Structure 1
Amino acid sequence: MLKLEWKATAIADLLAIINYISDDNPDAAQALKDEIEAKTSRLPDSPQLYRVGRIDGTREMVIRPNYIVIYAENAVAVTILRVLHAAQQWPET
């Protein structure tokens, strides 16, 4: 079974999103965090389930219409590269 790894940039992305939402609605922020963590925890079981990413070598998991998890996979691990709001500029990962 593959390992699940999070890049520091992805953790920072997630925390920034959660902090921003929690200013207005802490319960919604926690619910989104829980949803992202639950869905990404299942990635090692079926990493190719989600669409091919806009950047070569990546895939994209849509979490609700506005949040996207960008990840890559290899023979050993699924690595979460970024967690973005859909309106954000698409960075190079």
Structure 2
Amino acid sequence: MKIQFSTKAKADLLHIAVFIAQDNPDRAFTFTDELEQKCLSIGDMPKAFQIVAELVELGVRRRIYQNYSIFFTIESESIFIIRVLNSTVDYATLFEQKSCE
């Protein structure tokens, strides 16, 4: 399936890279590459990842990679990556604020 990233998801990946680069610039690049690859591989088996209970009405699913959560929806012919967030973030509040647009 085709993978599409929201503007916010792209910004999330950039912020993650900038944060990691403060301590380890080389790892920032390799880690965000790994994270992006995990996003892209969702297309292989998107229904293998559960719908988030707090976001069931939006059909949002989550894939976890290390300390990060990849939030996505399954569209008719594609996967839409909504956000990529540290798992400690209060994501339910972010989605209530419609920050996933």
Q: Same fold (TM over 0.5)?
A: yes
Residue 30 in structure 1 maps to residue 29 in structure 2: yes
Q: Which whole-Å CA distance do the structure 2 matches of 1:61 and 1:4 have between them?
A: 14
Runs of 5+ consecutive residues of structure 1 not aligned to the other structure: none
The structure carrying a bigger strand percent of its residues is: 1
What is the aligned partner in structure 2 of residue 47 from structure 1?
46
What is the aligned partner in structure 1 of residue 69 from structure 2?
68
Give the TM-score of the pair, scaled to structure 2: 0.82
Q: Which whole-Å CA distance do the structure 1 matches of 2:18 and 2:10 have between them?
A: 12
The structure carrying a bigger helix percent of its residues is: 2
Q: Which whole-Å CA distance do the structure 1 matches of 2:55 and 2:24 have between them?
A: 32
Give the TM-score of the pair, scaled to structure 1: 0.89
What is the aligned partner in structure 2 of residue 12 from structure 1?
11
Q: Which whole-Å CA distance do the structure 2 matches of 1:13 and 1:38 have between them?
A: 15
Number of equivalenced pairs = 91
